[in-house]
Amino acid sequence: MSTLLQVTNLKKHFPVTKGFFQKQVGAVKSVDGISFEMQEGKTLGIVGESGCGKSTTGRALLRILEPTEGEVVFDGVNIGKLTKDELRSFRTNMQMIFQDPYASLNPRWTVQQVLEEPLLTHGKNSKETIKQRVTELMELVGLSPQQAGRFPHEFSGGQRQRIGIARAIALNPKFIVCDEPVSALDVSIQAQVLNLMKDLQQKFSLTYLFISHDLSVVKFISDRVGVMYLGKLVELAPTDEVFAEPLHPYTKALISAVPVPDPEAKREQIVLSGDVPSALNPPKGCAFHTRCPVAMDVCKSVVPKWQEVSTGRQIACHLYE
C-alpha cells in the first residue's frame, strides 16, 4: 500500500479585515496545522462539529482555497508549488463531490453539459468520444443515458448527487474529496449513494477523503477516521479502533452520542457543556480544555503534541504523553 497524499502542517486562516483600507485585525483559524497521510485506494473519514474546519480542509487540499501554510504532497508532487497552469492540468488527478446536490449543478445546464465540462476542459476530444463518455458515465452511476438532455431540477436529490459523482469521476481521478455527500439526502437514498461510492472505489481504486458529521456513515465507509476539533486533528486511527476504544476525551464524547438502535440498551452518554469556542480567538493550550471533562493544568497552557501512540494511531492529548 503506497502513500498517495502526505499533508504536513496544513493551515488555512481567513483574514478579518476592517475599514476602508481593509486592515487585517485578526484571522479565523479554520484549519490550524493538521498533518496526516492517506493510503492509495483507502478512505479517510473526517468527522467533527459544524465549523471545525472539515470542509475547509478538503478545499485547501485541492487548492480551491489557497492554504495559508503547509505542504500537500500528492503522489510525489507538491501541490502548493504548482503554477496556475500546472495546477489546472493537475486537477485531473483530484476531484470533489459536494454536499448540496441542489447547489452543485448549474441550474441552466443539462446533464449532458455538466458532464461535458470536465471533458472539454482537459484535452481535445471529438464530439463522438465525449458523447460516448457521457453515456458511459451516466450508466456507471446508475442513471439512464436517455436523461442526458434533462435539467437538474427535473431530478431528485439522490439522482442529482449521482450526477455530481459522475462529474467527479469523469476525468479518472485518483483522489476525491467527498464533502458531506450524503448529509442532504434521505436515509434510504444515503445507503444507495454510499454503496455506489464504495463500488466506484473498488472499480477504479479511488482514494476518498470523506468529510461528514454523521458518525454512522463514516463508520460504514471509512478505513480510518480523523476527528477534528476547532481546526485541529485530535485523533486519527483505524475505524474499528476509534469506535471500539476512543482515546481522546472529545472522541469519547462524540462516540457516546451516536444513537444506538436499541431502546433497552444502557449506555453512558458524555454530554459536553458549553459551546465550541470561536475560531477567531481559540483557547490557549489544548483548544478543547474549556470543555474537557478531564482537563489538567497543563492543558490550559501547553499545546499537546500530535504523536503516534500505537501503530497507525495518532492523538493530540496530554493524557497520553
Partner 1 sequence: MSTADVTIATAPVKKRKRKKTFFTLLLSNRLAVIGLFFIVVWTLLAVVAPWIAPHSPTDTDTVSKLQGPTIQHWLGTDNYGRDILSRILYGARISIWTGLIGVGISFIIGVPLGAIAAFYGGKLGNFIMRCMDVLLAFPSLILAMAIAASLGPGLISAMIAVGIVGIPEFARLMYGQTITLKEKEFVEASKAIGVKDSTIMFRHIFPNALGPILVHATLGMGFAILVASSLSFLGLGIQPPTPEWGAMISEGREYIITGEWWLVTFPGLAIATSILGFNLLGDGLRDVLDPRLRSSK
Q: Does 50 bind partner 1 (CB under 8 A)?
A: no
The grid coordinates of residue 94 equal 483530484
**Does 171 help bind partner 1 (rule: CB under 8 A)?**
yes
C-alpha cell belonging to residue 234: 485530535
Torsion of CA 220, 226, 227, 232, to 10 degrees: -160
Binding residue for partner 1 (CB under 8 A) from 88, 203, 300, 305? Answer: 88
Q: How far is the CB of 62 from partner 1 (least distance, A)?
A: 6
201 binds partner 1 (CB under 8 A): no
Q: Where are the alpha helices (DSSP H) in the chain?
A: 54-61, 84-90, 111-121, 127-140, 157-169, 187-204, 215-221, 239-244, 249-256
C-alpha cell of residue 105: 449543478
Give one DSSP letter per residue of 175-227, joined into a string: EEEEESTTTTS-HHHHHHHHHHHHHHHHHHT-EEEEE-S-HHHHHHH-SEEEE
Q: Does 181 bind partner 1 (CB under 8 A)?
A: no
Among 16, 64, 77, 280, binds partner 1 (CB under 8 A): 64
The CA-based diameter of the chain, rounded to the nearest angstrom, is 68
106 vs 301 by CB, closer to partner 1:
106
Sheet (strand 77-78) strand order? 23-39, 3-18, 69-74, 77-78
What mask, x for binding partner 1 by CB under 8 A, covers residues 151 to 170? x-x----------x--x---
The distance of closest approach from Cβ of residue 38 to partner 1 in the complex, given in angstroms and rounded to an integer, is 17
75 binds partner 1 (CB under 8 A): no
Helix, strand, coil abundance in the chain, percent, nearest 5: 35, 25, 40
Q: Does 106 bind partner 1 (CB under 8 A)?
A: yes
**Cβ(107)–Cβ(153) under 8 Å?**
yes
Please report how close the Cβ of residue 135 comes to partner 1 at its closest, in angstroms.
11
Distance from C-alpha of 72 to C-alpha of 67, rounded to nearest angstrom = 9
Binding span for partner 1 by CB under 8 A among 2-10, 59-67, 135-143, 248-256: 59-67
User: Shortest approach of partner 1 to residue 236 CB, angstroms?
Assistant: 25
User: In this complex, which beta carbon is closest to partner 1, that of residue 146 or of residue 269?
Assistant: 146
| 92: contact with partner 1 by CB under 8 A | yes
The region of 68-76, 150-158, 210-218, 232-240 touching partner 1 under the rule CB under 8 A is 150-158
127 binds partner 1 (CB under 8 A): no
Under the criterion CB under 8 A, does residue 211 sit at the interface with partner 1? no
Interior angle at CA 138, CA 105 and CA 160, nearest 5: 30
- Asked whether the beta carbons of 176 and 206 are under 8 A apart, the reply is yes
- Residue 119: CB minimum distance to partner 1, A: 10
From 42, 150, 198, 252, residue interacting with partner 1 (rule: CB under 8 A): 150
Q: Which listed range, 92-100, 238-246, 270-278, 292-300, lies at the site for partner 1 (CB under 8 A)?
A: 92-100
Q: How far is the CB of 71 from partner 1 (least distance, A)?
A: 20
What gap in Å lies between CA 42 and CA 35, rounded to an integer? 17
- The C-alpha atoms of residue 191 and residue 202 are separated, in whole angstroms, by 17
Binding stretches for partner 1 (CB under 8 A): 20, 22, 59, 62, 64, 87-92, 94-96, 98-100, 103-108, 110, 117-118, 121-122, 146-151, 153, 164, 167, 171
